């Protein structure tokens, strides 16, 4: 049994019959996915399969037409995004969203201020314990030495680390990572994979990630869910998915 599955008690996700439409386009077309607490699950599929839309629905950024999202037994389908953040749903985006003119440390503090609804009080609202937690989160992702650098001076890889530190600061139980290695050099990709793996093992988080780089997927994920045209094609262990003819076909564009 892995360290993660022993450590975790939270983060079990159950998505049931979810439908999300953009006009006539059913980007998510009746998806059901179950992810166990402490699992690291990859969602893969060709461009436009609906992966980011599924993540947006789990985070509450788009409203589903029907279906449900249940986290640790609580139905959060109609909850606003900020309420989900407080409940432990953290998200890093396909394109990193950080505050470019703030320092690395301030970015992590800003994530906390926003969650607490204290953004208008700005730094005055940050107490010693919060500063300490921010320091721990930055050390955890290897950014401790860059804490006073401006956000926009960071490399692509370090931006993603910062985004992950911002999520960790929020006591995530479920971490949604949408293409965490997109646009990275091979060296940055490998460092990011190692970071995600070590955070998952040490913190016992449930992680759901999308990724186009199959070497990343097969190295990280315990199980994979394959999406195609808004639906789930199959779910299984990496070795099982790798050999399926229907999965190969959709990637070759014949699906």
Q: Which residues would be at the binding site for ligand ATP (CB under 6 A)?
A: 22, 25, 27, 45, 47-53, 94
As measured in angstroms, the least distance from the Cβ of 3 to ligand ATP is 30
- Report d(CA 167, CA 184) in Å as an integer: 20
CB 192, CB 161: distance < 8 Å: yes
Rg (CA), the chain: 18
Which of residues 52 and 222 has its CB atom nearest to Mg ion in the complex? 52
As measured in angstroms, the least distance from the Cβ of 53 to ligand ATP is 3
Which of residues 94 and 156 has its CB atom nearest to ligand ATP in the complex? 94
Q: Which residues of 120-144 are buried (b: 16+ CB within 10 A; e: fewer)?
A: eeeeeebeeebeebbeebbebbbbe
Pairing of strands 13-22, 174-178: unpaired
CB 91, CB 65: distance < 8 Å: no
Residues whose CB falls within 8 Å of the CB of residue 181, separated by 6 or more in sequence, listed in order: 160, 188, 189, 192, 193, 211, 213, 216
User: Of these partners, Mg ion, ligand ATP, none, which one is at the site of residue 235 (CB under 5 to 8 Å by kind)?
Assistant: none
Place of tokens 């159950």: 14
Which of residues 66 and 198 has its CB atom nearest to ligand ATP in the complex? 66
What one-character DSSP code corresponds to residue 103? Answer: B
As measured in angstroms, the least distance from the Cβ of 92 to Mg ion is 12
Place of tokens 């955890």: 140
40 to 59: interface string for Mg ion, x by CB under 5 A = -----------xx-------
Which of residues 51 and 203 has its CB atom nearest to Mg ion in the complex? 51
Which of residues 27 and 69 has its CB atom nearest to Mg ion in the complex? 27
As measured in angstroms, the least distance from the Cβ of 55 to Mg ion is 8
As measured in angstroms, the least distance from the Cβ of 210 to ligand ATP is 6
Which of residues 113 and 220 has its CB atom nearest to Mg ion in the complex? 220
For the chain, give the longest Cα–Cα distance: 58
As measured in angstroms, the least distance from the Cβ of 190 to Mg ion is 22
CB 60, CB 67: distance < 8 Å: no
Residues near Mg ion (CB under 5 A): 51-52
């Amino acid at each position: 049994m892995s360290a993660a599955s022993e450590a975790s008690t939270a983060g079990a996700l159950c998505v049931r019959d979810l439908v999300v439409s953009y006009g006539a386009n059913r980007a998510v077309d009746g998806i059901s996915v179950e992810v166990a607490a402490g699992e690291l699950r990859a969602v893969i599929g060709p461009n436009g399969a609906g992966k980011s839309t599924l993540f947006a629905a789990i985070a509450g950024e788009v409203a589903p037409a029907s279906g449900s999202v249940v986290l640790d037994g609580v139905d959060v389908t109609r909850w606003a995004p900020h309420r989900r953040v407080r409940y432990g749903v953290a998200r890093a985006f396909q394109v990193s969203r950080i505050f470019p003119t703030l320092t690395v440390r301030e970015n992590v503090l800003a994530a906390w201020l926003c969650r607490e609804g204290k953004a208008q009080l700005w730094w005055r609202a940050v107490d010693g314990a919060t500063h300490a937690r921010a320091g721990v989160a930055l050390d955890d992702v290897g950014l401790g030495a860059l804490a006073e650098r401006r956000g926009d001076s960071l490399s692509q890889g370090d931006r993603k680390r910062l985004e992950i530190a911002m999520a960790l600061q929020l006591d995530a139980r479920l971490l949604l990572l949408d293409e965490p290695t997109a646009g990275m050099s091979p060296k940055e990709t490998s460092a990011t994979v190692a970071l995600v793996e070590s955070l998952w093992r040490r913190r016992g988080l449930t992680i759901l990630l999308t990724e186009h780089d199959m070497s990343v997927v097969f190295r990280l994920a315990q199980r994979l869910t394959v999406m195609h045209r808004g639906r789930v094609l199959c779910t299984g262990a990496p070795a099982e998915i790798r050999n399926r003819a229907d999965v190969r076909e959709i990637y070759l564009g014949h699906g």
